[in-house]
Amino acid sequence: MTAAWAMVRHRFASFAGTFVAVFLGVAVVAGSAALHLSSRPQAPARYDEAPVLITPPDPGTGDDRDRQSWTAEQAAALSTRLGELEGVTAAVPDPWFYVQRVEGGRPVGDPQTALQDGHAWSSATLGSYRLTGGRAPSAPGEVVLGTASPAGTPPSQTTAGGTRAWTPGGEPKTGNTTGPTSESPARRTTFGQQAGPGRATASGTVEVLTSAGPEEWRVTGTVDGPGFYVSDREAARRASGVRVLGLTVTGDPQRVADAARAVVGAAGVVRSGAERDALEPNAVTRIRWIGAQLLIALVMLGAFATVFVVSSTCALSAAQRRRELGLLRAVGATPGQVRRMMYGETALIALVAGLLGAPAGMVAAPLLADPMVRTGLEPAGFTVTWQPAAFAGAVVLGLFVALAGVTAAARRASRISPLDALREAAADPRSMTPARWVVGLLCGAAGAALLAAMPSLPLETRSSAGLGAAMLLLSSAALLSPVLIVPLVRVVARPWRSTATGMLVREGTLTGVRRVASTAAPVLATVGLTVLLAGTVATIEVATGIDETARYPAGNVLVPDGTPGLSAAAVTAQGAEPELTTRVLISRGDRTSGMSVTGRGDALILDRISAAQLGARGGDTVTIRFADGVEAKLQVAGVEDESSVPRSLVRQHDPDALTGMLVLTKEAVAVPGARSVPIHEFVMAEIDEEGQLIDLFLLALIGLTAGYTAIAVGNTLLMATAARRSEFRALRLAGAGTGQVLRVVTVEALLTVGVGAILGGLVAVVSLAGVRAAVEDEIGRDITLVVPWGATAAVTVLCAGLAVIATAFPVLKTAPANS
C-alpha cells in the first residue's frame, strides 16, 4: 500500500483520468440518489391530525384506480362504530370532489390538485384546521374557504379585507361544528398546488367550477387550511363515494389502530405510521414517478460512464507504466503484488475522488430541486433532505465501479515481464488479446440479443433494455476497436504516406494501437450515447406524431382549458350529452375485472377482452360496482368493441366525473374552463407537451453523458500525449519544428476522434434500428428511422475540439521557447 500511495502521489497526472471519472460519477450518483430518496410518498398534510387512516378494501386487480369506495351510508355506519372505540376522539369520513376557483372567467390553480379540493366541513378536523372567521357551512351553496397556501408561504391577501366584508359582526359558531379545536401551529409542507389563498368577493360570494359547471357559492367563513369546505351533506352528494376515513385519537395511535382493525375487519384497510403515506394523491405519485425515471436513468448512465472511462484510462496508464512495472517485477514484485498494487492505487484514487465527489453531488442536489419542481419532475414543495445512504452508497459504488474498471488493466499489468523494464518504447506487439476478443464478442452478442428481444419485452422495460443493449454494444465496440484502427489508419494515411507527417502519424498510431483505442473509447461513448438518445426520441416523436393525427378526423374539439376535464354544463352548452368516463369493477362469479367505461346509451355493453376475462356473454347478469361504492346487478346487453354502461347510472354513481373532451359538430359556445381547438392543433399540443418533457429528459441525459465523456476525451488525450514528451523531444532533435510536431499530434488526435465517432455512430445506428423495430411492433406500422445528424455533428466537433486542445497543450508546454 505504501508503494501504491507513493505512485499515486508521484504520478497523479496519470491517475487524473480515473480521478475525474470517479469524481463525476460519484457526484452524479450521489446527487441523483439524494434527489430520489428525498422524494418519498407522503400522506397529504390534510391528514396531519389523524394518525390512523382507514381506506376501503383493495379488490386486488393490481390497479390503483380500482381502490374501492364506501357509500356515504357505509362510511357513516363505520365511523359511528369506530367513534365508540376507546382513544378515538373523532372518526371522520373524508369525501372529496372537484372544485376549482374561477377568477375573471378563468379557472385558476393546478387542475390535478383541484380534483380533490372540495371537502366536507367535518374533515377539517383531520388536519386540525380551525375556523379563522365566520361560521361553518350548513346549507347547500355555502362554503368555508381555505386560506392556507401551499409550501407554507403565508397567504398574502387573506381574510383581512375579504372576510370582514362579508361577516359584519357575524358570530363564529364553532360550538356547532365538528371543527377542530386543538392547536397545530407547525404545519408540514403540503404537496400540490393550491388555487391560491381564498379571497372572497365584496359580496361574500366565490365563483367556482365543479363537475356540474360554474357555480357561485356564498362564503360563510374562512379556515386556516387549504381547500373548499361545504356542509357534510353537500359533500356526500357531490363526492363519488368515500375513500378515506380518518381517526383523531388520544393516547397510543398503534393501540387505536389495532382496535380499529378488529372493528373494520374485511370492510377496509387500517393504516397507521408509515402506511398512511400510501394515501399520497395519484397526481403527486405520477409526478414523482416521472422524476424517478429520469433519476434512475442518470444513475445508470453515470455508473456506466464511470466504468467505461476508468477502464480505458487505467489501461492507458498501465501501458504507459510498462517499464516501471517491469522494474518492480525485476526487483522482486510477484505478479500478484503488481496486481494488488494496481488495485490499491485505484482504490485510493476512487476513495479520494468519491469522498470529494459525493459531497459535491449532495451540495448540487438541492439546487436541482427547484428546476425539477418547475419542470414537473417533482411535486411542489419538494425539498432535498440529507441522505446518508445516498452519500455512502455513491462512495461505495464509485469504489466498486473503479475496481471493476481496473480489473482488465491489472490483469494485463501482472503479466508484464521483468525484462520489460529494459525495453525502451512500449510498442504494442499484440493489440488484440484472446481475452479482448472473447469479451468483446460476448458483449456484442449480448447487446444484439437484447436488441432482438426488445419487441417481446414488456413495454416498461423496453427503454432500459435499449439503453442496456447500447451499453453492451459500446463496450464491445471499444474492446474490438483495435481491429478497425489498423485498416482505418492505413486507408486514411494513404494519400500522405510519402510526407513526414503522414509517415509519423501512420507509424505512431500503428505501433500504439492500444493507446489509440484507449483514447478513442470516450469519444465512442460520447458520440454513441448522444446519437442513440437523440435518435430514439426523434424516431419516437415522428412515430407518435403520425399515430395521434391518424386517429382523428378534421374538425374542432372542445378541450379542458386549465381544468382537469369538461364540466357537465360545458358539454350541455354545446347541445351534447356528457361523455363521462368512470372506473367500475365488474364481477361475475369469482372473476373480477376493473375497467374504465364510458356512460353511453342505456344498456351495459362489454368489450371483447373484458367479456372473455369475465367469461360473460350477452344475456348474462353481472355485478357492477360503481365509483361511489354502490353495487348493482345488470344484464349484459351485448359484447362489442368498446365497453359502456348506461349514462344515467354513471351520472348517478359518479357525480364527480368529468368529460375528457368533446368532438364538436357545430360552432362552440364559450364556457369557462373549456376552449375549442382544431383537432390537429389539439393533437400537436398533446405531443408538444410530451415532447417538452422528453426534450428535458434528453437534455439532462445527453448533458450528463456528453459532458462527462467529453471531459474524459480531453483527459485521456492529455495523459497520452503528456507521456510521449520524450518522443516529441526526439522528433525535435531529428529536426522537426514545433509546428510539425503539432501537426503530427493533431492529425493523430483527429484520427482518434474519427475512429471513436465512426464506431460510436455505428453502434448508435444499430441500437436505433432495434428501437425502431420495437416501436414498429408496438404500433403495428412501419416508421422511419431518424438519425439526428445535427446532434451527431455537434458532438463530434466538440470531441474533436477538445482532443486538439488536449493534445496540443502538452506539446506546447515542452516546446523550447525559441522555436
Is 176 exposed, middle or buried (CB count within 10 Å of its CB: 0-12, 13-18, 19+)?
A: exposed
Q: Given candidates 151, 330, 448, 500, which one binds other proteins under the rule CB under 8 A? A: 330
User: d(Cα 143, Cα 118) in Å, to the nearest integer?
Assistant: 10
- Of the listed pieces 68-76, 306-314, 326-334, 638-646, which binds other proteins according to CB under 8 A? 326-334
215: left (phi over 0), alpha (psi -120 to 50) or beta: beta
The cell numbers describing 788, all together, are 439526428
Strand order in the sheet with 674-678: 662-663, 556-560, 674-678
Q: Is residue 421 involved in binding other proteins (CB under 8 A)?
A: yes
**CB of 311: closest distance to other proteins in angstroms?**
23
Q: Rule CB under 8 A: is residue 422 a binding residue for other proteins?
A: yes
Binding to other proteins by residue 2, rule CB under 8 A? Answer: yes
| Helix, strand, coil fractions of the chain, as percent rounded to 5 | 60, 15, 25
Identify which of residues 325 and 636 has a Cβ nearer to other proteins in the complex: 325
Nearer to other proteins, 9 or 494 (CB): 9
3-state per-residue secondary structure call for 99-124: EEEEECCEECCCHHHHCCCEEEHHHH
Least distance CB 7 / other proteins (angstroms): 5
With contacts defined by CB under 8 A, how many residues of the chain interact with other proteins? 25
The yes or no reply on residue 324 touching other proteins (CB under 8 A) is yes
Closer to other proteins by Cβ: residue 41 or 335 = 335
Q: CB of 398: closest distance to other proteins in angstroms?
A: 24
334 binds other proteins (CB under 8 A): yes
CB of 334 to other proteins, least distance (A): 4
Distance of alpha carbon 791 from alpha carbon 215, whole angstroms: 52
- Taking each helix axis as running N to C, give the angle between helix 738-779 and helix 789-814, from 0 to 180 degrees, rounded to the nearest 10: 160
Among positions 62, 104, 265, 332, the unique one binding other proteins when judged by CB under 8 A: 332
Question: Which residue's CB is nearer to other proteins, number 282 or number 337?
Answer: 337
Nearer to other proteins, 333 or 485 (CB): 333
Q: How far is the CB of 725 from other proteins (least distance, A)?
A: 14
Q: How far is the CB of 12 from other proteins (least distance, A)?
A: 10
Q: Quick one: which of 62, 154, 336, 735 contacts other proteins (CB under 8 A)?
A: 336
Which one, of 319, 330, 333, 328, lies nearest residue 412 by Cα? Answer: 319
φ, ψ at 333 (rounded to 5°)? -85, 130
What is the smallest separation between the CB atom of 703 and other proteins, expressed in angstroms?
37
What is the rounded distance in angstroms from the CA atom of residue 537 to the CA atom of residue 692?
11
Q: How many CB atoms lie within 10 A of CB 676?
A: 19
Identify which range of 210-218, 306-314, 332-340, 425-433 contacts other proteins by CB under 8 A: 332-340
The correct pick among 46, 67, 329, 625 for binding other proteins (CB under 8 A) is: 329
Would you state the cell numbers that stand for residue 296, as one nine-digit string? 434512475
Q: Please state the closest distance from residue 326 (CB atom) to other proteins, in A.
A: 9
Backbone angles phi, psi at 655, to 5 degrees: -60, -20
Q: Which positions from 337 through 356 interact with other proteins, judged by CB under 8 A? A: 337
Give the separation between CA 534 and CA 268, rounded to whole angstroms. 48
Does position 106 bind other proteins by CB under 8 A? no
Q: How many CB atoms lie within 10 A of CB 38?
A: 18
Nearest approach in angstroms of CB 323 to other proteins is 7
Residue placing its CB nearer to other proteins in the complex, 293 or 337: 337
Cβ count within 10 A of residue 808: 19
- The residue from 335, 660, 691, 801 that contacts other proteins (CB under 8 A) is 335
CA atoms within 13 A on the CB side of 323: 8
Q: Determine if 13 is a binding residue for other proteins (CB under 8 A).
A: no
Pairing mode, strands 591-599 and 644-645? parallel
Q: Which residue number, 330 or 637, has a Cβ lying nearer to other proteins?
A: 330
772 is a site residue for other proteins (CB under 8 A): no
Using CB under 8 A, which of the segments 5-13, 31-39, 300-308, 541-549 binds other proteins?
A: 5-13
Question: Angle 758-709-504 (CA atoms, 0-180°, nearest 5)?
Answer: 55
Q: State the nearest-atom distance from the C-beta of 357 to other proteins, in Å.
A: 25
When binding is defined by CB under 8 A, the residue of 186, 202, 262, 331 that contacts other proteins is 331
Residue 328, interface with other proteins (CB under 8 A)? yes
Q: Return the number of the residue (6 or 546) whose C-beta is nearest other proteins.
A: 6
Answer yes or no whether residue 333 interacts with other proteins by CB under 8 A.
yes
CB of 411 to other proteins, least distance (A): 14
Rounded least distance, CB 328 to other proteins, Å? 7
In the bound state with other proteins, the residue whose beta carbon lies nearer, of 9 and 286, is: 9
Q: Which of 6, 77, 392, 427 binds other proteins (CB under 8 A)?
A: 6
277 binds other proteins (CB under 8 A): no
- Burial class of residue 186 (count of CB atoms within 10 Å of its CB; 0-12, 13-18, 19+): exposed
Give me the count of residues in the chain: 819
CA distance 309 to 307: 6
Q: What angle do CA 684, 582, 461 make, to 5 degrees?
A: 60
- Alpha carbons 468 and 767: distance in angstroms, whole number: 10
> Does 7 engage in binding with other proteins (CB under 8 A)?
yes
State yes or no: residue 430 binds other proteins (CB under 8 A).
Answer: no
Residue 429: C-alpha distances to residues 45, 426, 433, 516, 698 (Å): 69, 9, 10, 14, 42
Could you say which of 323, 600, 675, 732 contacts other proteins (CB under 8 A)?
323
- Give me 733's grid cell: 532533435
Please tell me whether residue 9 binds other proteins under the rule CB under 8 A.
Answer: yes
Integer angstrom CA distances of residue 557 from 230, 564, 579, 678, 683: 33, 16, 13, 6, 10
Pick between residue 323 and residue 732 the one whose CB is nearest to other proteins. 323
Q: What is the DSSP letter of 580?
A: B
Report whether 118 contacts 209 (CB < 8 A): no
Question: For other proteins, which stretch binds (CB under 8 A), given 239-247, 334-342, 640-648, 699-707?
Answer: 334-342
CA 755 and chain centroid, separation: 34
Q: Does residue 144 contact residue 223 with C-beta atoms inside 8 Å?
A: yes
- Least Å distance, CB 730 to other proteins, is 16
Which part of the chain contacts other proteins (CB under 8 A), choosing from 126-134, 167-175, 325-333, 714-722? 325-333
Residue type, position 197, single letter: P
Burial of 60 (0-12, 13-18, 19+ CB in 10 A): exposed
Query: Is residue 327 part of the contact set for other proteins (CB under 8 A)?
Result: yes
429 touches other proteins by CB under 8 A:
no
Q: Is 719 in the site for other proteins (CB under 8 A)?
A: no
Write the binding mask 401 to 420 for other proteins: x where contact by CB under 8 A, - elsewhere: ----------------xxx-
Joined grid coordinates for residue 219: 362564503
CA distance 308 to 480: 14
Query: Is the Cβ of residue 16 or residue 516 nearer to other proteins in the bound state?
Result: 16
Tell me if 10 contacts other proteins by CB under 8 A: yes
Where along the sequence are the contacts to other proteins (CB under 8 A)?
2-3, 6-7, 9-11, 323-324, 327-337, 417-419, 421-422
